[in-house]
Every structure is written in structure tokens, then in C-alpha cells.
Structure 1
């Protein structure tokens, strides 16, 4: 877990410093930073302790999908959130030139966004104006990730109470406002 989060944090900083616009790399960073550390590996540890090794592949799919959704929601909150509800300043990711999936998809689609992020100083107000379509795409991707996570639990014998608990956690993690 420690190695994965270190790799994710390193890549997050390196991609921001280099201005790399690569959506798949942005997704991988989200998985390393959050997917494996906060959801997948803890569930895997619990399954191992409980003597349920057959849950490992299920928890890998569930954990990585939900962990990515968690990070993507965090990215959306960081750009569009209410600072009071979020409990943190918004806009910091743009100020720090973080190449989130939201921004990578926008840059891939929009020449103006590519020009804005190629500058040393970013016009964050103009960037915000141009992120609407990518925001919708990220929201749809989060929906798909939640569906994938919850669907993974249907592939193994699991008590319905645990299945409901995991589905509830998926909704809470992916659709939170802070």
C-alpha cells in the first residue's frame, strides 16, 4: 500500500510539473493514490484475515473502481465544490496545475484548454468556464465505476447484508460533497 501511494503521489507531482496530458495516466494516478490505498487493499486485508481468499479478485475490481470514483469525486469537489461543505479551499488543483482526468479530458477535446494549460500561469477562471463538458463526462464515468464496483460483488457468494453495506459505501464514497 505504501509503495502504491508513493508512486501515485510521485506521478501526481511529476505529471503536474511536466504538464503531461494523458487521460489514462491520470486514471492510473487516481487508482494508485486512492483506489488501492483507501479501498482495495483494506478490503483484501479483511478478506485474508477472515479466511475468504476467494474475495480477492472481487475486492480488486470493487476497490479499484470505487477508489477511482472516490478520487474523481475529490477532483470535482476540488474544482467545483462549495468550500464550506468541502472543508477545504476549491481551485487548488488548478492553481497547482494538477492534471486530473477532468482536465486531461478537457485538454484532449478543446484546443483552447490545451493552450491555457501550456502557459506558465493558468487562467483558472477561463479554465473553469471550459470544463463543463468534461465535468459531465467525469460524472458519467463515476456512475460507470459505481456500477462496476457494485456488480463485482454479485459474482461471489456474499451475505446480502455485506453486499448492501458495500453498495451503500459505494454510493456514499462516489457521491459525497466533501
Structure 2
């Protein structure tokens, strides 16, 4: 039946049947069907599951080899019905796609999305950090100040706001020196 729906390009029908198969424990059948599909089809199934807010199916698809496009992740996380809980899909993205997601969120003043990604992601690649820093510089000053005040990941704060860290570090050193002198 899955093959029939897939052959007739009823993507939504296939997604519904896949979900039913998973709910009823037909994992082998679902996996066998899914493994025979092209990357393009797999990506479409993920996008369809995202469109309907079906996180369980999205997760199963991704864990079984379907790619998550950054476009689908942005659309899903931006869905007002999903709210900011959708930002967790960034765990399924590569670091470079997380950078695109974060920069897009900065451009669109999606503060909580940016905050969540920066608090919950380690950006190891220096080019990733530079891209996010550049996007921060181009973002509205209000979002930059808000992020500085709300970011709890000290490592991210250090590389996102190097000038603020130098200023606050210098201020701390001056305060310690003044206290040592009794001033």
C-alpha cells in the first residue's frame, strides 16, 4: 500500500501510512519501504512531516537516514503552532546548517531561537563563529544587547561578544586592583 501511494505521489498519504506503521510496530516494513527511496523522496517525507508538525515521524525519518534541509528546519521552527519548541530540530542539522539557521534567525529577529541555538550548540569551526559574529554585528542593536544579557553559555558569550568580554575583563582587573590598594 505504501508503494502504491508513493507511486501515485501521495506524499501526505505515505507519511500517514508510515506513521500508522510505526505506531503499530511494523518497523521492519516501514524501514524496508523507506530504504528503497531516493534522497529527494526522503527529504520530501521529512518536509511533509514537518509541515504537519509530526515530530515523531520527523525524528524517525531522520534517524533512519533522511536528510533534514535547513529550509525545512527554519520553516518548522518558525511555525507559530510549534512555537519555539521547534528550534530543537537544529540538533539534527550539521554545524554549517546551524550557522545558516542562526543567521537567518538573527536577520528575522527570532531572539529565542538564536538564544536556544547558542546556549545548546558548540560551534567548533572558527568560520562558523565568524559568520555568526558577522550576523550579530549586522543585526539590530536591541537583539545584540538582549542576547548579551540572556546568553548563559559562557563559551558562546566569549566568542560572540569578544569586545564585551575584553571590556568586562579589564573592568574586573581594575576593580580587583583598586580593592587590593584599599581604594
| TM-score scaled by length of structure 1 | 0.25
Q: Pick 1 or 2: higher relative contact order, CA cutoff 8 A, min separation 6.
A: 1
Larger radius of gyration: 2
